[in-house]
Amino acid sequence: MSTQKKPEITARRRFFTDTAHHAGLGLLGGLLWAGYADKARSSVLTLRPPAALPEADFLRTCIKCGLCAEACRNRDSNIDKETGKPRPETLKMAKADTDGVTVGTPYFVARDVPCYMCDDIPCVPACPTGALDEASVTNGEGELDFRKMDMGLAVVDTNSCIAFWGLQCDLCYRACPLMDEAIKLHYTRNSRTGKHAFLEPIVDMNVCTGCGLCEKACPTEKAAIFVLPREVALGRPGAHYVKGWDKKDQQRVGERKMENITTHDKRSEKKAADYLNDGVSYE
Ligand code: SF4
Ligand code: SF4
Ligand code: SF4
């Protein structure tokens, strides 16, 4: 892990920002792209580069310059040691015929080329507008920290994951840069054979970065583990459910009480049996 405060990148970022502000490039770009954007709105399944702002803000902020994809393609770690040539880049810029991604915006398809979670995360400081938010991947020591990346969340389809059938496969587990943290293997006894164990991959949603290296490694015809944007992968219980054991939830409830908000009304005076028996007559 390394501190990456590159002066040339800061200068380049300033150049782009100033140019956009003073020459009205952002406005011009917005007009030019607005027509395309209508034709090709991004699917909710689109995976964005590390540290991308939430989708709506990202689309407002990204000027489609391609510097993130260029940094990804040209990173030192992308050179194939055997051929000396660059391998395919993770980040691509959507073209007019790219399905389901707003034209000109960066994205990646984990099953094709996942994010390699570079130590120095070169794509992020390359962004001149803050569409890739450097602060969100910077740790307390001011260093870029790939553990803070959040591109999505890996989800396991337990029906098609062959490890859940009892077959030996731990390829996703081994491919994960955060092995034993983002993916753990859960051992259970295989009662069908009586002598084998299931080694089921379990993803920790608080650690997984959504890099997709597990998806790339999965040997099933269609990956049994795959990355989805968190907004798609996760449910939302609603603010009225409270975890009695969670300090933050307790604090939230306390704050609501302070606002004099009450959930007590006439109906609260009834017991559950009153509702259940409502309208029922006993002869
Ligand atoms: S962190 Fe991922 S997206 Fe960024 S340069 Fe490295 S491989 Fe590319
Ligand atoms: S995310 Fe940043 S670097 Fe990438 S295309 Fe958009 S503005 Fe350019
Ligand atoms: S996407 Fe897969 S490989 Fe990447 S951190 Fe999450 S579990 Fe690990």
* Helix or strand holding residue 11 (H, E): helix 7-23
Tell me, yes or no, whether 279 lies in a domain: no
Task: Choose among 150, 244, 146, 139: nearest CA to 205.
Answer: 150
Q: Are residues 121 and 16 in the same domain?
A: yes
Tell me, yes or no, whether 211 lies in a domain: yes
Question: What is the identity of the amino acid at 43?
Answer: S
Residue nearest atom 6 of ligand 2, based on CA coordinates = 62
What's the confidence (pLDDT) of residue 200?
95
Ligand 1 centroid vs 193 CA: distance in angstroms? 43
Asked if residue 212 lies in contact with residue 182, where contact means CB atoms within 8 angstroms, the answer is: no
Tokens of 32: 């030019």
What's the confidence (pLDDT) of residue 275?
57
Range of the domain at 62: 7-144
134 alpha carbon, closest ligand: 2
Q: Are residues 158 and 217 in the same domain?
A: yes
Tell me, yes or no, whether 83 lies in a domain: yes
Ligand 3 centroid vs 179 CA: distance in angstroms? 8
29 lines ligand 2 (CB under 6 A): no
Q: Are residues 139 and 157 in the same domain?
A: no
Asked if residue 123 lies in contact with residue 91, where contact means CB atoms within 8 angstroms, the answer is: yes
Q: Are residues 60 and 126 in the same domain?
A: yes
List beta partners, residue 63: none
The ligand 1 atom nearest the CA atom of 75: 5
Asked if residue 201 lies in contact with residue 163, where contact means CB atoms within 8 angstroms, the answer is: yes
Q: Are strands 92-93 and 196-203 parallel, antiparallel or unpaired?
A: unpaired
Q: Are residues 41 and 159 in the same domain?
A: no
Ligand 2 centroid vs 101 CA: distance in angstroms? 14
Tokens of 133: 């938010």
Tell me, yes or no, whether 262 lies in a domain: no
What's the confidence (pLDDT) of residue 115?
98
The per-residue pLDDT for range 152-201, each reduced to its tens digit, is 999 999 999 999 999 999 999 999 999 999 999 998 877 777 767 889 99
Furthest-apart CA pair in the chain: how many Å?
Answer: 89
161 lines ligand 2 (CB under 6 A): no
What's the confidence (pLDDT) of residue 187?
86
Please identify every stretch of the chain with a pLDDT value under 70, giving residue numbers as ranges: 1-40, 195, 257-283
